[in-house]
Amino acid sequence: MNVTFTFGTVVSEIHIEESIHSIRSIIGSVSSCVLVCDENTTGIAASIAGKGQIQNSGDQNTLQVCGICVLPAGETAKNWAHVEKILKAAKDAGLGRDGVFIGVGGGVITDMTAFAASVYMRGAKLALVSTTLLGMVDAAAGGKTGFNLFNIKNFAGTFYPSPLIIMPLETLSTLPMREWKSGFAELIKTAILDSNDDFLDRIGGLKDAFVSPNFPTSVLRDIVLRSELLACIAKAVEIKGRIVEADPKETGTRRVLLNLGHTFGHALEVSVGLGSLTHGEAVAWGIARACDLGRSLGITEPERAEKIMRLLVSFGYETRAPHSCMEETGRFMAALFNDKKKKADKLTFIVPDRNSCIAIAIEKEEKMEIERIVRIIGGEVI
Ligand SMILES: NC(=O)c1ccc[n+]([C@@H]2O[C@H](COP(=O)([O-])OP(=O)(O)OC[C@H]3O[C@@H](n4cnc5c(N)ncnc54)[C@H](O)[C@@H]3O)[C@@H](O)[C@H]2O)c1
């Protein structure tokens, strides 16, 4: 299934595929490329390079791989040192500006590879192979690149949309349960942004399979459930694509809505230590707090907030405040006010409304509003 959307002048072609066999033919002939992966996606990268067990037979496409850069896995690896390692691998391999960076992995790898491609000799070619549910439904498409700096999530980054993004469902067969759960949080987030709750209800329909003991086999080997998962991924990509097309660089009022759950979630991730929680676990908790905030401001109707909370709980997310990883709320508040999206001492929160979500700005000095947030995260107002 293909989804296409434009980011400024760049057309992103997104291929949501069943198997990893089609990757080579979709990428086509490439005269020089560097593959970037992490220690959990080396097998997939090797098969793309033609050295793995899943090689295409009779493949007419020649992919000249001049370097493979393998990074450690996880959020703690999303830093400048590893971006530098990608750039050095490309330089050592003699990659020119016409060479292609191919990122193979979850959001950490695709964000860093895309960043490296965006600055390599002022911009090299890029293709991404997304191998986590979170990457497929959110991270890989939309043009945001980056890495963590100064203990702030994604502090450094660029906009550099990938013209080609491949999402092979088959790669998800090795994804750990915790990472599946992380991806469902971003799927739920995107569904909340849709103009009605049909998509949210559809995700609820996948929940029974998700909590069954033989997940993910139960979904990936069942023709109906697998095509439902594929359709949900495609729907999430389409929704994100529409938002990104309307407001590519988040200068307007649309793209900011994709940050639902992220202002609270990023602060939680940083305050408990990057890598302790998955991105999705933090976002799910952040969505719950956004519902609390929306309700306390009279913006989120109680029925919608309860519906969202029920869905989050049914997927097993920690939704109650304070989060069990939080030792004290002071560290959380410090991380919150360090948020890179803070504009002129205003913090932006996205809260669900009747049909979708809206953005609200809270002044750092607005004492009552800050007290409201402290209560919402389960802290004491001093
Ligand atoms: N650019 C964007 O618009 C955007 C949007 C949302 C999230 N993000 C970023 O994405 C990152 C989170 O992405 P993620 O959840 O994919 O994290 P991740 O890349 O760290 O992947 C999660 C874990 O799964 C492993 N893994 C990946 N593919 C696998 C596979 N097929 N089988 C087995 N293990 C596999 C990884 O090695 C890692 O240990 C965060 O850094 C977040 O900031 C970016």
240 is catalytic: yes
Q: Which residues line ligand 1 (CB under 6 A)?
A: 38, 40-41, 73-75, 78, 105-109, 111, 131-132, 134-135, 138-139, 142, 144, 153-154, 171, 174-175, 179, 182, 279
Please say if 346 is a catalytic residue. Answer: no
Mean pLDDT by 10 residues, the chain (382 residues): 92 95 90 96 93 48 90 96 98 94 98 98 97 98 96 94 97 96 97 92 91 90 93 96 96 95 93 92 96 93 96 95 88 82 78 94 75 77 58
Instruction: Choose, from 144, 181, 289, 323, the residue flagged as catalytic.
Output: 144
At the topology level of CATH, where does 179-376 sit? Dehydroquinate synthase-like, alpha domain (1.20.1090)
Task: Tell me how far apart the alpha carbons of residues 216 and 273 are, in angstroms, rounded to a whole number.
Answer: 29
Instruction: Exactly one of 181, 266, 304, 323 is catalytic; name it.
Output: 266
Interval between CA 243 and ligand 1 midpoint (Å): 22
Give the number of residues written for the chain: 382
Strand, coil or helix: 141: coil
Q: How do 100-105 and 30-38 pair as beta strands? A: parallel
Catalytic residue flag (residue 328): no
For residue 266, indicate whether it is catalytic. yes
Residue found under tokens 């998509």? 199
End-to-end CA distance of the chain: 54
Nearest to 272 by CA among 323, 233, 306: 323
CATH number, domain 2-175, options 3.40.50.720, 3.10.180.10, 3.40.50.1970, 3.40.50.300: 3.40.50.1970
Catalytic residue, from 226, 254, 331, 372: name it.
254
Q: Identify the bridge partners of residue 347 per DSSP, sorted by sequence position.
A: 362
Pocket-testing residue among 108, 152, 243, ligand 1, by greatest number of atoms within 8 A of Cβ = 108
Cα angle vertex 73, ends 70, 76, to 5°?
Answer: 120
186 is catalytic: yes
The torsion angles phi and psi of 177, rounded to 5 degrees, stand at -55, -40
Q: Is 322 helix (H, G, I), strand (E, B) or coil?
A: coil
Which residues, listed in sequence order, are joined to residue 181 by a DSSP beta bridge? none
pLDDT at residue 59, rounded to an integer: 55
Ordered by start, the domain boundaries in the chain are: 2-175, 179-376
